[in-house]
Amino acid sequence: MEDILKVENLQIHFPVMKGVVFKKQVATVKAVDGVSFSVKRGETLGVVGESGCGKSTTGLALMHMLATTSGRILFEGQDVTSFTRDQVKQFRRRVQMVYQDPYGSLNPRMKVRDIIGEPLEVHGLDKDREKYDQRIAELLRMVGLLPDMADRYAHEFSGGQRQRIGIARALALEPSLIVCDEPVSALDVSIQAQVINIFKSLQKRLGLTYVFIAHDLAVVRHISDRIAVMYLGRVVEIASRDDLYKAPKHPYTQALLSAVPVADVDAERDKERIVLKGEIPSPLRIPSGCRFHTRCPAAMDKCKTQDPAMSEHGGGHAVACHLYA
Ligand code: SF4
């Protein structure tokens, strides 16, 4: 299968300005600082990391919603970062986003029909009202809702139902790729599994590709084919789901995984939990050398000065850590 998406050394830096009249740049926030990965057509890449690691900023850049500092984002071979307005409009038909907050991302005063139909209107696909209504009914059915819910308002629905409406809206233009930014983290655990199952069945039916962003390795496990772990603006490990869960290499991935509960009660009791020191550093002051060295339980002297490069260890399993150089 070919790559539908390729991200090459993506950097997104924000200047920090000071002064009212004469503004002066005093620092730089390196939100995304050299991210590379690729996604094959029809697969799901999970992107995981703590809050502030740059995963959502990366997601917005994939959608052409943020200016990039450098690097390339290739969608079907074309560099999204240099698209014109017209190209962006066409691109929006192929790439859509599902947002984290099903409460904030849907206007509560709009009818479901208008929410789901908005992308169709923007692209002038609402002129034939009969076809338009049929499409709204079909989209509602695809996400497990009833067509007669189209005339109700978003505020009348539960969180899980609202996220289904958000998914239906994302599907309206028949995209190939959907960027899902923490789409279940605002939902109750019992509802999360239902929504993940909807994503999975839609993928099977429509051949969709997902970039699935989450802060929790437990969530991405059930949907991802491969997983990229991000720390402070970089991908530090990327592997197939099975490789990552069975044999995580990076000390950060090992720590994240040690916090994921396992179903077996005995295994859960005997499991060693790796507790990381301190908080994730500010992207304003990225540590020298390996950016994880201030929290890493395996840090060595050279980790303070030498930035580890990504090295490949078979089967597409790559890690940025001196332990494996
Ligand atoms: Fe830890 Fe050093 Fe590996 Fe960084 S390079 S993850 S500090 S062992």
CA distance 59 to 57: 5
Predicted pLDDT of residue 279: 82
- Determine the 3-state secondary structure of 135 from DSSP: helix
Whole-number Å distance between alpha carbons of 25 and 285 = 15
Atom of ligand 1 nearest to the CA of 300: 2
State residue 39's pLDDT score: 98
**From the CA of 303, how far away is ligand 1's center (Å)?**
6
For the chain, the maximum distance between any two Cα atoms, rounded to a whole number of angstroms, is 69
Alpha helix stretches (DSSP H) within 47-95:
55-62, 85-94
Ligand 1 centroid to residue 320 C-alpha, Å: 8
- The pTM for the full model equals 0.93
Amino acid at 222: H
List, run by run, the mean pLDDT of 10-residue segments along the chain (325 residues).
95 90 88 97 96 94 95 97 94 94 81 94 88 95 96 91 95 97 89 94 97 92 96 97 96 92 72 82 94 96 97 96 94
Domain boundary assignment for the chain: 3-94+175-324, 106-174
Give the separation between CA 309 and CA 320, rounded to whole angstroms. Answer: 5
**Per-residue confidence (pLDDT) for residue 74, from 0 to 100:** 98
- Torsion over CA: 234, 237, 238, 242 (sign): negative
For ligand 1, what atom is nearest to the CA of residue 251?
6
Angle between helices 159-171 and 112-122 (to 10 degrees): 20
Which atom of ligand 1 is found nearest the CA of 306? 5
Task: For a ligand 1 pocket test, name from 230, 319, 322 the mutation site with the most ligand atoms within 8 angstroms of its C-beta.
Answer: 322
Domain 3-94+175-324 belongs in CATH node 3.40.50.300: yes
Residue 304 backbone class (left: φ over 0; alpha: ψ -120 to 50; beta: rest): alpha
CA of 150 to the centre of ligand 1 (A): 52
Residue nearest to atom 6 of ligand 1 (CA): 321
